[in-house]
Amino acid sequence: MNEILAFLALFNMTCTDYVITQSNETFFLAGDIPVIYIEPSMNKPHIVMHEIVHCGQWYRAGKNPAMSIKEWQAREDEAKKIETMFIILGDGH
């Protein structure tokens, strides 16, 4: 997990006070305590990285959700881009 948080620091992306838990699906849910739900077969560093990016985006936006489909897509595109860079650099096997 330290590698993921250190990698995110390169993008000035901070995600604190979150919980990661097992689920039937993989997604990020904002709330008083942000929760990252991970489906067991998806519990891979690059997938966790992707969901933590969404947590960081939520913090960066003042703890606000995407206000439009365009903003939601921009957040998803950014998460995919950071996830891909994490994989290419060899940390996200």
Domains in the chain, number? 1
Residue 23 lies inside a defined structural domain of this protein: yes
> What is the residue-averaged pLDDT of the chain?
91
pLDDT computed for residue 92 by the predictor: 52
Q: Cα dist. 39→5, 16, 36, 85 in Å?
A: 21, 21, 10, 22
What pLDDT does 7 receive? 87
- Decide if 93 is inside a domain: no
Is the pLDDT assigned to residue 1 strictly greater than 90?
no
Which one is predicted more confidently, 24 or 2? Answer: 24
Pairing between strand 19-22 and 27-29?
Answer: unpaired
Is residue 26 in some structural domain?
Answer: yes
For residue 91, the model assigns a pLDDT of 56
pTM: 0.89
Residue 52 placed within a domain? yes
Examine residue 64 and state whether it is found in any structural domain, yes or no.
yes
The tens digit of pLDDT for each residue in 25-69 reads 999 999 889 999 999 999 999 999 999 999 999 999 999 999 999
Question: Domain range holding 61?
Answer: 2-88
